[in-house]
Structure 1
Amino acid sequence: MLKQKIQDLFVEPGCAKNQAKSDKDRKKGCGKPLTPGAAAGGCCFDGAKIALQPITDVVHLVHGPIACEGNSWDTRNSHSSGSQLYRLGFTTDMQNLDIVNGGEKRLYKAIRQAIKRHNPPAVFVYQTCVGALIGDDVEAVCKAATERMGVPVVPVNAPGFVGSKNLGNRLGGESLFEYVIGTHQPDDVGACDINILGEYNVAGELDQFRPLLARLGIRLRCSITGDARYLDVASAHTARANMVLCSQALVTLARKMKEKYAIPYFEGSFYGISDTSEALRAIARMLVERGADPTLTDRTEALIAEEEARAWARLEPFKARLKGRKVLLYTGGVKSWSVIQALQEVGMEVVGSSVRKATAEDAAKALERLGGDEDKLADAITPRDMYAMFKDGKAEMMLSGGRSQFVALKARTPWLDINQERHVGYAAYDGMVEMVRQIDLMINNPIWEQIRKPAPWEV
């Protein structure tokens, strides 16, 4: 079953890259042979857990050795406005005897203990390499536990060896679609309810654009999965529209919700002033087409005009200080193109952007915003080449994740965290102002001029 599910994900019809293939190439799928070290950027299990752990009020139980669970507290800095249960690490802590005798009984006891101690609305059980290799049937155990304990126990069958972190994101979405979404019917369905897919509330970014939606009378029925509750996800099928923030991770979920529940979707971004405004317009337009109050369009334009004027006034002092400064963007997914325009809006020059975790459509958008210069796009940049860019003055600053920071810092170059580990939100209008402020604090810090001077013993 898992093999067939993976094959279906590899020929995803909602993927722009697959749509452009011939029928013969489409049947081959888009899987690539894994090489040693491929899991350094995250295995399939890691991707599934990253995608689902922001559901805050459920128990996330890892069926495997304790090392698979790791330190879950700060794996991704996803905030919660309520329950903190998702912050706790739960694992069956499989030992040698479990590998010999099988771990299904141990898993069942762990589920029972977690429910008894924490009384969650649901338990999510994650399969790992060890459990899969010895043949533990997590689906059967979860089904039995659900029937006997009266609490939904959701299997997430995404062992690390089957693929990359991105595949794990999509398998996590499959578990939500198969076992959770559509299982609860709320009594407060509205004409302006939406879902946002691929939003993980990193550094509390939901609070930077959720108030904008509220001012327009638009209710965020569910963010999948940032700051979500189990019943929110179970009720997501009642929304009138879906906005996809990270299409590479959850485009399959969006497509299946459209087919089963007739919920249209579009891909957008809340990074940057222009992209935030376009996202709000698209949401309003889609809701009006589905029967919402036609005045929503005019109210949206009024809100955009007000917020853009306020944001540009706050950004004005930074423009002269940042104009023409060269920045390397080394991230992926939606940020590979949306942050480009955010930086260009204040006069910075993006000298390169990574598209290593982006869809073909993401890459096309990034290329368009870089003026069609293909030399500025790269799947990956080696540390040696990256270091040379900084030493040769081709880039004055880097925005990336934590794993790349040491290359920039070794080259005595400013660096700013743009990925999920960060503790500052950069979404919507207020987030854009904050990101520019952080860039200014970093790139214009006098410490860089001091540390680039020769040491006293070198003079």
Structure 2
Amino acid sequence: MLQAKVQEVFNEPGCATNRGKTEKQRKAGCAKQLTPGAAAGGCAFDGAKIALQPITDCIHLVHGPIACEGNGWDNRHAKSSGPETYRIGATTDMSDLDVVYGGEKKLYRAIKEAIARFDPPAVFVYQTCVPAMIGDDIVKVCEVASQKLGKPVIPVNAPGFVGKKNLGNKLGGEALLDYVIGTEEPAVTTPCDINIIGDYNIAGELWQVEPLLTELGIRVLGRITGNARYHDVTVAHRARISMIVCSQALINVARKLEERYGIPYFEGSFYGITDTSQALRTIARMLVERGAPPDLLERTEALIGREEAKVETRLAAYRRRLEGRKVLLYTGGHKSWSVISALGDVGIRVIGTSVRKSTADDKERARDLMGEDGKLYEALPQSEMYRMLKEGEADMMLSGGRTQFIALKAKTPWLDMNQERHQAYAGYVGMLALVEEIDRALANPVWEQLRLPAPWDDMEGEG
């Protein structure tokens, strides 16, 4: 069953890379060999947990050794405006004896205890490597638990050994499609209901955009999965359109919503002035095509004009200082191009970007935005990254926490652009926050001091 699901996910018609493959190549899949010991941030289980944990009112129960939950818990700063149930680190904590005798009974007891103690609307159960290898049938356990305990118990069959994190994202999406979406009906629908897919409300970014949608009368009906409640996901099949923020992660969800329920989708970004405005225009246009009031287009343009004018006034001073600055961007997914667009709004030039976890469309957009001189990196050796920063090819690096020390060693400013960050950068307000952070980092006098020769360097050769 798992093997069939993995093959189905590999054969994704919505993926441009997959469409370019032969039938034989599709069957071989797209997973790369896992690195032994790379437990945090690299396996399918981790990807599934990332995709689903922002459903904030549910228990996310990891069936496996406690280390799996230890590596996966809280690896993103996905914020909630209400329930904190998703913050509970729940695991069956399998031991050696469970490996010998099987862990199915222990899993059932854990589900029963979680429901009794926390009364969540649903429990998500994540399969990991150890129980998958000994043959624990979490699908059957979840089915029995749902019947006996009266709560939805959703199996997420994504053990780490089946592939990389991106495959796990999609397997998490498949769990929603198989067991959650379409299981309830909304109390009321409107002509302006939308789904936002592949946004995880990192550092509260969705809250920087949602007020704009609310002002236009647009309701986010399905949240998959940033700041979501379980019932938000169950009714996603009644939205009029879907916006997918990171197609590399959950393109299968958007495509199957279109196939099953006739919900068209588009890929967009809320990073930067240009992309935020374009996303709002596209949402309004597609909603009008689906029956929303025609004046939505006019009201959207008025809102865009107002917000762009407000942010442009505040960005003027920063633009004079930042124009022509060069940045090395080392992130992935849709940020490989959306951040380039955002920085371009204030005249910052990206000299190169990593395209890990990026689709063919992502790469093409990044290439167009950077021009002929910009470089795309599938992987960039740390030594080369250090050289580029040390020799001044870039004034600053934007990346994740794992590469920050390369920039610091090169005595170069660095800013966190990954999911671990505490600062939100979405929408017009987020663009201003991003520019303020970059300007603050570049202008910090510590860098000039660090680059001065040490006092003892001048003493070399003295007796």
Deviations 1:361-400 (A, max 9, x none): 1000000101144x61111111000000011110110000
Map of 1:393 onto structure 2: 392
SS at match of 1:270: coil
The reply to whether residue 452 of structure 1 matches residue 428 of structure 2 is no
Structural RMSD (CA): 1.3
Deviations 1:312-364 (A, max 9, x none): 11101101111111100000111000110111111111110000110111000
Map of 2:438 onto structure 1: 439
Aligned residue runs from structure 1 range 236-247, under 5 A: 236-247=236-247
Q: CA deviation at 1:29?
A: 3.5
8 Å contact kept, 2:7–2:27 = no
Q: CA deviation at 1:306?
A: 0.6
8 Å contact kept, 1:63–1:93 = yes
State the alpha-carbon separation in 2 of the partners of residues 312 and 87 from structure 1: 38
2:397 is matched by which residue type in structure 1? Answer: M
Which stretch has the larger CA shift, 69-78 or 117-126? 69-78
State the alpha-carbon separation in 2 of the partners of residues 73 and 33 from structure 1: 24
Aligned residue runs from structure 1 range 247-326, under 5 A: 247-326=247-326
Aligned residue runs from structure 1 range 98-117, under 5 A: 98-117=98-117
1:104 is matched by which residue type in structure 2? Answer: E
**% identical aligned pairs:** 64
State the alpha-carbon separation in 2 of the partners of residues 106 and 19 from structure 1: 43
Q: CA deviation at 1:2?
A: 0.8
Map of 1:413 onto structure 2: 412
Map of 1:50 onto structure 2: 50
State the alpha-carbon separation in 1 of the partners of residues 368 and 11 from structure 2: 26
1:165 is matched by which residue type in structure 2? Answer: K
Aligned residue runs from structure 1 range 182-193, under 5 A: 182-193=182-193
The reply to whether residue 12 of structure 1 matches residue 12 of structure 2 is yes
Q: CA deviation at 1:440?
A: 0.3
Q: CA deviation at 1:20?
A: 2.8
Map of 1:381 onto structure 2: 380
Q: Taking structure 1 as reference, are residues 6 and 38 closer, same or farther at Cα in structure 2, changes over 3 Å only?
A: farther
TM-score of the two chains, using structure 2 as the length reference: 0.97
Question: Structure 2 unaligned runs (5+)?
Answer: 459-463
Question: Structure 1 unaligned runs (5+)?
Answer: none
Aligned residue runs from structure 1 range 166-205, under 5 A: 166-205=166-205
State the alpha-carbon separation in 2 of the partners of residues 87 and 339 from structure 1: 29
State the alpha-carbon separation in 2 of the partners of residues 25 and 71 from structure 1: 32
Deviations 1:29-74 (A, max 9, x none): 3333445456564211011001100000000000001111006663
* Residues paired across the two proteins, number: 458
TM-score of the two chains, using structure 1 as the length reference: 0.98
8 Å contact kept, 1:72–1:89 = no
SS at match of 2:297: helix
SS at match of 2:198: strand
Q: Taking structure 1 as reference, are residues 89 and 144 closer, same or farther at Cα in structure 2, changes over 3 Å only?
A: same
State the alpha-carbon separation in 1 of the partners of residues 288 and 65 from structure 2: 50
Deviations 1:384-421 (A, max 9, x none): 00000011110110000101101101111100001110
SS at match of 1:352: strand
State the alpha-carbon separation in 2 of the partners of residues 19 and 60 from structure 1: 34
1:96 is matched by which residue type in structure 2? Answer: D
State the alpha-carbon separation in 2 of the partners of residues 312 and 440 from structure 1: 16
Map of 1:65 onto structure 2: 65
8 Å contact kept, 2:31–2:164 = no
8 Å contact kept, 2:330–2:398 = yes
1:311 is matched by which residue type in structure 2? Answer: V
Deviations 1:266-305 (A, max 9, x none): 0000000000000001100110010110111111111111
SS at match of 1:199: coil
